[in-house]
Amino acid sequence: MGNLGPTELIIIAVVIILLFGAKKMPDMARSLGRSMRIIKAETKGMKQDGEEGVPPVTATATTTTATPAPAAPAQLPEARPVDPVPAPAAQPAAAQSDVEKMQKQIDDLQAQLKSTSNNQAAPTQAPKNA
């Protein structure tokens, strides 16, 4: 009973194809391949973490069945720590002067916008008084 011959394997394959249909088989194989890639990437990441001094988590072997697997979620990029923003005092003098120039330009543009909006509002009020 422990040894399966080629005829038994062919019979098992035919039964699986009849049960799940030939159309679903490629989808099942594709989803199984995606799952295996995800598992491989996760175990590789755990091995790298283990090399950095973090004790690795032991993985247990799982068996797969011939049932259709749900669609695997899209693989997300690895998370990276965000670098803190340097304090404004740490900027060089040239960069600080550029920031001040830009701030002055912003202030000038805002003043121009206010003056043009006031000039446009005045002609609409003039005909009402006349």
Of residues 37, 73, 72, the one with CA closest to residue 45: 37
Cα gap 126→114, rounded to integer Å: 19
> What local confidence, expressed as pLDDT, does residue 114 receive?
85
Instruction: Write down the pTM of the prediction.
Output: 0.29
Compute the mean pLDDT over every residue in the chain, rounded to the nearest whole number: 74
pLDDT tens-place string over residues 12-21 = 988 888 887 7
Domain boundaries, the chain: 1-63, 89-125
